[in-house]
Chain A
């Protein structure tokens, strides 16, 4: 009997009765909680069309960039039937605040961009005028100024190209290809060699003209099509080759040494001065000859020669409409 009473007492606990009467469905059964990672919501106006979300998506066909002609930009569109709600696209979204939103993933900030890119944007400190327009233009805050030197943080950059569009100096921000390094080297060598050949030929011609003024600038043109065929054999991508050539010509400065054998008196003063042995005395002709392959363009011979046999010119370049414009300036160093 006592055990029965004990059982009744045990089962009639106040707490238990209260729980039984208050029983209700867990609200999370019917409604998904706010932390639930649902299909991502897209806010078009924040998007910078970088494509990081598409690159991060593990499910084929779940997300793609759709072009909107009205807003003149592309934004991600999520195909719900293929989306697996992993939230990767939200995690990698570099905008602030995030374009895509789901669950609590928008709180996560990726430290490194995951976007696979062919190009790297770098600021050329030599040409930069520190106008800081690019800092305002950058949508992901990758550009910063420290000690009056403006740099691009490569881990944040999404290669959108907005900084180049705002930069007032041509060539101060460069779009550099990080692939095909060896091919790029070959193209640059080819370009510099053929430019120098063209300049040498032209200078010889210009100097013989009757109205030649040694103080005057010489302006030449070099059509890019001359080397394009050979460059395309090295790297079969015309757009890339043009870009590489443009990057190089913005900064390129060539010292050109011309050699006028007719003026040479055979004094041989220059031969001992030449650091590489590029100058040799030809006894048959009685003149000194120059080997352009060995020459360093150091201009020591130009400074040594009392007869003006070597000529020194500084050449600068500008790529425009498929032609390289060459400006040749006679050197300021007096011979």
Chain B
């Protein structure tokens, strides 16, 4: 009960880049800067999937990432939420092609709870998506 209450107000996220051009990662990095200041919204950034509640997945899921992405997803403790960020993670974007080198979209590998379109999305759009969807997903686990 109290855990749910606290979780909604302190969302720990972990960023996974599975290929692509890193543009979306730079936008997430911009969220950490003073201009956007992610932590004032109660979102905390980690590099460790074991510590986080929400995974932010960017990129077109390159071949080398396909198994590792599932591995990483399994490492996240429950309750967990996944956000796919950027055109690459949603459809493959400009990397979309008929081959096994790109595994996009991300939802082929792990369940995705929210999608943020854009190439890249604005930092504000990413922060809005985290605040809007992640608490709901986390709360749904306790029901």
Contact = CB atoms under 8 A, between A and B. Distances in A.
A and B bind: yes
Given A26-B35, A39-B117, A84-B119, A59 B124 contact: no
A60 B94 contact: yes
B122 interface: yes
Contacts of A59: 87, 93-94, 96, 119
A30 interface: yes
B53 interface: no
Contact of A84 (B94, B97, B122): B94
A83 B94 contact: no
B35 A81 contact: no
Contacts of B115: 81
B111 interface: no
Contacts of A36: 122
B91 A79 contact: yes
A61 B60 CA distance: 15
A82 B95 CA distance: 10
Nearest to A39: B117
B90 A29 contact: no
B5 to A, nearest CB: 26
Contacts of A31: 124
A80 B115 CA distance: 11
Nearest to A32: B122
B42 interface: no
B136 interface: no
Closest CB pairs A-B (n = 5): A84-B119, A81-B90, A82-B91, A80-B117, A60-B96
B36 interface: yes
A70 B92 CA distance: 33
B118 interface: yes
A183 B36 CA distance: 63
Contacts of B91: 61, 79, 81-82
A30 B115 CA distance: 19
A223 interface: no
A32 B118 CA distance: 13
Interface majority SS (helix, strand, loop, mixed), chain B: loop
B124 A83 contact: no
If over half of A's interface residues share one DSSP class (helix, strand or loop), that class is named, otherwise mixed; here it is loop
Nearest to B128: A30
A97 interface: no
A31 to B, nearest CB: 8
A58 interface: yes
B117 A83 contact: yes
A98 interface: no
B93 to A, nearest CB: 6
22 contacts: A29-B36, A30-B124, A32-B124, A36-B122, A58-B94, A59-B94, A59-B96, A59-B119, A60-B94, A60-B97, A62-B87, A81-B87, A81-B90, A81-B105, A81-B115, A82-B87, A82-B90, A82-B96, A83-B117, A83-B119, A84-B118, A85-B119
A31 B128 CA distance: 11
Interface in A191-220: none
Interface in A57-99: 58-62, 79-86
B81 to A, nearest CB: 18
Nearest to A31: B124
A29 B35 contact: yes
Interface string B104-124: 010000000001011100101
Contacts of A81: 87, 90-91, 105, 115, 117
A283 B122 CA distance: 95
A83 B122 CA distance: 14
Interface in B60-90: 87, 90
